[in-house]
Chains A and B, each alone.
Chain A
Amino acid sequence: MLRETLLRKLDHLIEFHGKARESVLPVLQDLQATYGYLGEETINEVARTFGISQTEVFSVASFYHFLNTKEKGKYVIRICRTISCELRDKANILRALESELGIRMGETTHDKKYSLDYANCMGMCDRGPSMMVNDDLYADLTPSKAVDIVLSYR
């Protein structure tokens, strides 16, 4: 990624969120949404912009499940692993997606398009099994429905 592009993006975000210490997380969230992950360069520039240490920014970024410090697929598929979805045969959804994408849970496809992850309760317990693809939430899944949804992300 070009440093200038990153800096321009950061400028925009600071303009919107402000430069106080409590704006770090919203800025990280927006950078993650744009770039898909928060790499070393991004972390360093955020630290410089806010005038805090890189370790401090990294410790925040690495705390939250939805912030990635390593590169992931363009689309991160998160399957709910909470008990209510488990009772509604979440395992079949996982099996179908693993074999469709040719990866196991926790892995990313070679073309960097899809990553497969677990997430905890998504609040769809009465309509499970459920999953998220990036920010989009899906419930009432069947194996074929889950595959169709995932493949619709190009």
Chain B
Amino acid sequence: MARKIDVVFSDFQPGSALRAALGMTPTSVIELVTKSKLRGRGGAGFPTGLKWDAARSHRSDDKFIICNADEGEPGTFKDKNILEKQTAKVIEGMAIGAYAIGASKGFIYLRGEYKYLVKDLMKKIEELKSQNLIGKDICREKGFCFDVDIKLGSGSYVCGEETALIESLESKRGEPRNKPPYPAEAGYLGQPTVVNNVETLSFIPHILLNGAEWFQQFGTEKSTGSKLFSVSGDCRKPGIYEFEFGITIRELLKEIDADPDTKAVQIGGASGFCACSDDFDKPICFEGIPTGGSIIVFNKSRSMFMVLKNFVEFFQEESCGQCVPCREGCSRMLEGIEKFEQGRGSSKTINDLLELSTTMSLASKCGFGQSVPNSFRTIASKFKDEILSAGGGEVWRS
């Protein structure tokens, strides 16, 4: 049975973890993070230690660490709460990262929808400055300077992708870059840059204080630690939960008091996977069903056709339009799905869209286009009847 955990929102003494880090060499800080096997919590799951190590290895006087607070995946709201309630912890995570890779400047890239948080965040930054936890010669460590600035997004889902985020930070269109070079080598203004998710950064101080073994006791072998989940949809207790990686869908549904007639759970938002009752014993983790944390529950009365259509409309609107497979693919997929509403869809339409899905996941430039087909594939295969009958019309409740 996977355990309920309380790390991210637990009490924390600002400065304690940073002082511990400053007592170590930057290389040993990175070694510690690598040993903890912490992986990015935004969804992609890239090992944080490796990212830091790559940025450290590239020589430059101007390196940057960016906190990705562009939480835009449908159904996700955990990062907002972390930033609201644990601002100091997140910024300390950034400061530790800055020390480790040799950066002196950090940005919090905050999505435009969360503009109302700016005032409180600025206040907290000033407070940390007055405590000498950011600014010049931090914690009386000669020569270690680190400043944090807040930059706002302006309503664009794709800017959550790290290279699109960097483009946006440079005041350009939020179009993902070709990789390589990776941001660790050439990121913001062409300098070595680390982009970490809010939740990822909030674990860093705890790892510094408690060690890699402590972190590894939670979760699975390949997905260590705990994970925040943003729960919404048909359940009695929506909200934010922290569980060990490896929790099964069934266990999670019980904790959130999901409707007894739950027929589907969307894991990882629009770009994630749809699970039906056959999947409920599968574990949620990088080697199982991966997620950035969005959990949306659907009971028996919901039309999965409408759910799918909602997701594809979202993608069609948010595709940056830069590469053909994603730009055209999203539009064609929406057209195909609308055929079912117009009574023109057939099993051939589904097969054509599955073929399109393969093209999109293979040929799209970034993770956005590559993950568009996830929800189509899983919903179309598990709820084919509902797609062929267009869910019985346009109603949300049958």
- The verdict on A123 contacting B71 (CB below 8 Å), with A23-B171, A24-B171 known, is yes
Residue on A nearest B169 in the bound complex, by CB: A22
Asked whether, in the complex, the Cβ of B113 is within 8 Å of the Cβ of A122, the reply is yes
CB of A63 closer than 8 Å to a CB of B:
yes
Q: Give the residue among B72, B79, B233 with the most A Cβ atoms within 10 A.
A: B233
1/0 contact trace for A120-132 toward B, CB 8 Å? 1111111110001
Contact partners of A91 in chain B: CB under 8 A? 396
Residue from A22, A64, A86 in contact with B310 in the complex, judged by beta carbons closer than 8 Å = A86
- The verdict on A83 contacting B310 (CB below 8 Å), with A66-B112, A123-B113 known, is yes
Asked whether, in the complex, the Cβ of A125 is within 8 Å of the Cβ of B77, the reply is yes
* Bound form: Cα–Cα A84–B295 in Å: 10
Asked whether, in the complex, the Cβ of A25 is within 8 Å of the Cβ of B168, the reply is yes
Q: Give the residue among B74, B76, B151, B320 with the most A Cβ atoms within 10 A.
A: B74
- The verdict on A125 contacting B232 (CB below 8 Å), with A29-B152, A82-B75, A84-B74 known, is yes
Instruction: Give the shortest distance, in Å, between B138 (CB) and chain A (any CB).
Output: 24
1/0 contact trace for A49-90 toward B, CB 8 Å? 000000000011001111100000000000001111011000
Asked whether, in the complex, the Cβ of B173 is within 8 Å of the Cβ of A86, the reply is no
Asked whether, in the complex, the Cβ of A59 is within 8 Å of the Cβ of B173, the reply is yes
CB of A111 closer than 8 Å to a CB of B:
no
CB of A119 closer than 8 Å to a CB of B:
yes
* Bound form: Cα–Cα A80–B291 in Å: 22
Instruction: Give the shortest distance, in Å, between B255 (CB) and chain A (any CB).
Output: 14
* Bound form: Cα–Cα A85–B317 in Å: 18
Asked whether, in the complex, the Cβ of A86 is within 8 Å of the Cβ of B396, the reply is yes
Residue from B76, B153, B189, B232 in contact with A128 in the complex, judged by beta carbons closer than 8 Å = B232
Contact partners of A136 in chain B: CB under 8 A? 116
Asked whether, in the complex, the Cβ of B232 is within 8 Å of the Cβ of A63, the reply is no
CB of A4 closer than 8 Å to a CB of B:
no
Residue on A nearest B71 in the bound complex, by CB: A123
CB of B224 closer than 8 Å to a CB of A:
no
- The verdict on A123 contacting B80 (CB below 8 Å), with A84-B296, A87-B233 known, is yes
CB of A7 closer than 8 Å to a CB of B:
no
Asked whether, in the complex, the Cβ of B170 is within 8 Å of the Cβ of A123, the reply is no
Asked whether, in the complex, the Cβ of B154 is within 8 Å of the Cβ of A29, the reply is yes
Asked whether, in the complex, the Cβ of A26 is within 8 Å of the Cβ of B113, the reply is no
CB of A137 closer than 8 Å to a CB of B:
yes
Q: Give the residue among A21, A22, A87 with the most B Cβ atoms within 10 A.
A: A87
Contact partners of B174 in chain A: CB under 8 A? 63-64
CB-contacts of B74-126 with A (<8 A): 74-77, 79-80, 112-116
Asked whether, in the complex, the Cβ of B75 is within 8 Å of the Cβ of A21, the reply is no
Residue on A nearest B114 in the bound complex, by CB: A123
> Size class of B's contact patch?
35 or more
CB of A15 closer than 8 Å to a CB of B:
no
Contact partners of B72 in chain A: CB under 8 A? 120-121
Asked whether, in the complex, the Cβ of B239 is within 8 Å of the Cβ of A126, the reply is yes
Residue from A22, A83, A135 in contact with B307 in the complex, judged by beta carbons closer than 8 Å = A83
Residue on B nearest A90 in the bound complex, by CB: B396
Asked whether, in the complex, the Cβ of A119 is within 8 Å of the Cβ of B171, the reply is no
Residue from A29, A66, A81, A124 in contact with B77 in the complex, judged by beta carbons closer than 8 Å = A124
Contact partners of A63 in chain B: CB under 8 A? 156, 173-174, 320
Q: Give the residue among A22, A24, A67 with the most B Cβ atoms within 10 A.
A: A22
Residue from A87, A123, A132 in contact with B76 in the complex, judged by beta carbons closer than 8 Å = A123
Q: Give the residue among A59, A84, A119, A135 with the most B Cβ atoms within 10 A.
A: A84
Asked whether, in the complex, the Cβ of A84 is within 8 Å of the Cβ of B233, the reply is yes
1/0 contact trace for A96-134 toward B, CB 8 Å? 000000000000000000000001111111111000100
Contact partners of A125 in chain B: CB under 8 A? 74-77, 230, 232, 238, 296
Give 15 A-B pairs besides A83-B296, A122-B113 with Cβ atoms closer than 8 angstroms: A22-B169, A60-B173, A64-B154, A82-B75, A83-B74, A83-B266, A84-B75, A87-B232, A87-B302, A91-B396, A120-B74, A121-B74, A124-B77, A125-B238, A135-B115
CB-defined A-B contacts under 8 Å, sample of 12? A21-B170, A23-B171, A64-B156, A82-B314, A83-B307, A84-B75, A87-B232, A121-B73, A123-B76, A125-B232, A125-B296, A126-B230
A-B interface, 9 closest residue pairs, ranked by CB to CB distance from nearest = A65-B155, A64-B154, A125-B232, A126-B238, A66-B155, A123-B77, A25-B171, A24-B171, A84-B232
